[in-house]
Amino acid sequence: MNDSPVTTPNPHDPSLDQAVALHAAALRLEEEFDGLFDDEAIEQFLRSAYEHVADHATIDNFLPLLAERYTREWLSAMVEEQSSRA
């Protein structure tokens, strides 16, 4: 048992600069997919993508960019699937 008040950081918690980059990515994606997905869903997809790429990363410099690209591909595929059903 550890009585220390210091907690260990979650390995998936982005650093401050990564959090800013993720916020900017969310704004770009929200603008790009405006009317197709609500903002909260886009942010959840982006967070999930960030955690996915962070799981396998040895260098974390480009994680927000990779998460944004992964999310954009994911959302685009969902839009394409929805339009093919219509």
The model's pLDDT over 52-65, given as tens digits with 9 standing for 90+, comes to 999 989 988 999 99
Choose the weakest-confidence range: 9-13, 22-26, 53-57, 66-70: 9-13
φ and ψ at residue 28, rounded to 5 degrees: -65, -45
Q: Tell me what pLDDT residue 1 has.
A: 52
Mean pLDDT of all residues in the chain? 90
* HEC per residue, 30-69: HHHCCCCCCHHHHHHHHHHHHHHHHHHCCCCCCHHHHHHH
- For residue 6, pLDDT over 70 is answered with no
Q: What is the pTM of this model?
A: 0.82
Domains and CATH numbers, the chain: 16-85 (1.10.8.1060)
* Tens digits of residue pLDDT in 30-41: 999 999 999 999
